[in-house]
Amino acid sequence: ALVVRFAGALGLDEARTAQLETAALLHDIGKIGVPDAILRKAGPLEPAEYDKVKEHVVLGVRILSAIPRQEILPWIEAHHERFDGTGYPQGLAGEEIPLEARMIALCDAYDSMITMRAYRDAHSERIARARVMQGAGSQFDPVLAALLVEMLETGSLARHSTHLPNASPAFGGS
């Protein structure tokens, strides 16, 4: 729901927003191949356990390889890439990461922060927004991070979608 709201605030068209919604709903489907003991572990993961978790993006793409919306597969595969290039599975950086994957990563991280987890309590929305901004430029696209926080704080965006990083005509860019 958050990524759909964000897409609307950014001015993405209905078709792209629908694709983004599908990708956001399915982005972690590969976790069905990760043992529950790892997914629900209360403490820190061992390196081998973390490697198993990281496999979920490629497994998700394999699971979804027969769906009609093939264009969303790169977004799902890249949703754990980091803006600074230290993410996985390919180590993409900056605008090499598809815009939609950057949006999913950002909205998913924010949602995760404000939701109770087995390994930690939920953060307040204020703290989660601050953590998003702390990750701007390293974990998250700094422009998208600022736009998401603006939307969350004000309910809308003062900026026009042409300010989107890596915007194309399909996204209201020039």
Q: In this predicted model, what pLDDT tens digit does every residue of 92-105 receive, in sequence order? A: 999 999 999 999 99
User: Does residue 140 surpass a pLDDT of 70?
Assistant: yes
Closest residue by Cα to residue 13 from 100, 83, 73: 100
Most confident of 39-48, 85-94, 157-166: 85-94
pLDDT at position 172, please?
Answer: 36
Count other C-beta atoms under 10 Å from residue 48's C-beta.
8
Phi, psi (rounded to 5 degrees) for 36: -55, -35
18 pLDDT more than 80? yes
Helical ranges in the chain per DSSP H = 2-10, 14-26, 36-39, 47-54, 56-63, 73-77, 99-113, 125-134, 142-154
Q: Rounded mean pLDDT of 60-79? A: 94
Kindly report the CA angle at 63 between 60 and 167, in degrees rounded to 5?
50
Single out the catalytic residue among 31, 41, 52, 54.
31
Annotated active-site residue 52? The verdict is no
Q: What is the mean pLDDT of the chain?
A: 89
